[in-house]
Structures are given as C-alpha cells and as structure tokens.
Amino acid sequence: AQSVTQPDIHITVSEGASLELRCNYSYGATPYLFWYVQSPGQGLQLLLKYFSGDTLVQGIKGFEAEFKRSQSSFNLRKPSVHWSDAAEYFCAVGGRGSTLGRLYFGRGTQLTVWP
Amino acid sequence: DSGVTQTPKHLITATGQRVTLRCSPRSGDLSVYWYQQSLDQGLQFLIQYYNGEERAKGNILERFSAQQFPDLHSELNLSSLELGDSALYFCASSVDLLAGSFTDTQYFGPGTRLTVL
C-alpha cells in the first residue's frame, strides 16, 4: 500500500535561509509524487508534481523537488525562504491501479519563518 | 483561488445529526474527490466521482455518502454524527478527460470545517 512519511512535524527557518522539507514514500512501482501547500484558512495548492522524466522538478513560488528512487524520497527545497512561505506543506503520492486518482498524504510539515 | 467552491465554510451541529456539504468543481472538471482532514488521521481520501458515477472509495464510513449531480456539483452527506467526525472536509476536482488519467492536477477547495458538539 502507498504511504508517505514526513519526518519533520515543524521546521523553523530565518527569512532568506535555504529550506529543505523531507518526504519519504512507500510504493512498489514508479510513484506519482506531489507537494501541496496549505495556508491558514485556505485549501491546498499544488506546488509541483513528478510523474516521470527529469528527477529535478521545478514548481511555483521558487520551489523545486528532487525524486531519488534509491532513497524513496521526494524532498522539497527552496534556496531563499520568504516570510510568506510560512504554511503547512504536504507531500502526497498518487495511487495507481485500483487506487488510481486518489492521493495519499503525509502528516504535513509546519513551516515557521523568522523575520 | 482554485475555482473549486465549497459551502458552507463552517458548520456546527450536534451529535446524531445529519449534514450536507456541497462542492462545485472548476468549470469543465469531470472528477470530484472528497478528503477529510483531522488531527487524528491527517488528510484522508474518502471518495471520488467521475461524471456522475462513483469511481473509487477510500476510508469512508458507512454513515457517510456522496453523490455527483448532472451539473457535476457534488454533495457529501454525513449522518448520525459523532464527535470524532469533527474535521475539515475538502473537495477537489480534476479535468480527467481520459478516464483513469493519473496526470491531472487535483484542485482543492477551501474546505468546510465541521464541528460536532
């Protein structure tokens, strides 16, 4: 069964610092991977997604993520964090076969940005 | 703004009651998904409808049901409510022009926060 682990519940960084949010997945085949961001009172917004091809994926708002099959990871990165990036970030794996179309989410990482 | 609308934004009700949550997908989107976000379980997939028909079921309780209407809006019905049903319920939609397409982005609405007292 598909599952996603986000080891860090809460991360605090200073504005302008670099950021890496970790995501590990469990899946038997090539996964479909996503990062979403949830701001307070808002729905989830897609930052980026990986289906195949280049393992370094560029997303919106200056985010990127790298798929590493050998480590079953899909970590999200940003070189310089802005105060507006404070939010909760969710990694998700997309189902295949009988679970096609549904998303399996990690528990999320809350990002706090210090001025 | 994702283009997915959900009503109401907030709902407060008592145990044992029944409520209906409504979702209007983005214009042209054929698939609607329902997710539940709770402190205990995190974000969980509940159910998916495609062009009016149920396509996939996740961890949806028997007390919960959903449907998608000809105009493609969807409703999630929650009955015999319990305290543990308090959660944020999200609706998402995707184009899904090819049945079974996995590449479509799911666009999420702002959610309905349900509080059961």
pLDDT of amino acid B84:
95
pLDDT of amino acid B96:
65
Q: Is the pLDDT of residue A108 over 80?
A: yes
B49 touching A (Cβ < 8 Å): no
Q: Is the pLDDT of residue A107 over 80?
A: yes
The residue-averaged pLDDT of A18-45 equals 89
* CA angle centred on A88, ends B114 and B50, rounded to 5°: 60
Which among B33, B43, B110 has the least Cβ separation from residue A105?
Answer: B43
Least reliable range by pLDDT among A17-21, A53-57, B75-79, B87-91: A53-57
B109 touching A (Cβ < 8 Å): yes
CB contact under 8 A, B110 and A105: no
Q: Is the pLDDT of residue A23 over 60?
A: yes
CB contact under 8 A, A100 and B105: no
Q: Choosing among A42, A44, A46, A107, which should be mutated to test the B contact, i.e. which has the most B CBs within 10 A?
A: A44
Reported as a pLDDT band with limits 50, 70 and 90, residue A40 is confident
The residue-averaged pLDDT of A13-36 equals 92
Q: Which residue has the higher pLDDT, A1 or A57?
A: A57
pLDDT of amino acid A102:
83
Q: Is the pLDDT of residue A98 over 70?
A: no
In Å, how far is A62's CA from the nearest CA of chain B?
19
Mean pLDDT of chain A: 91
pLDDT of amino acid B80:
97
pLDDT lower than 70: segments of chain B: 96-103
CB contact under 8 A, B111 and A43: yes
Reported as a pLDDT band with limits 50, 70 and 90, residue A43 is confident
A106 contacts in chain B (CB < 8 Å): 42
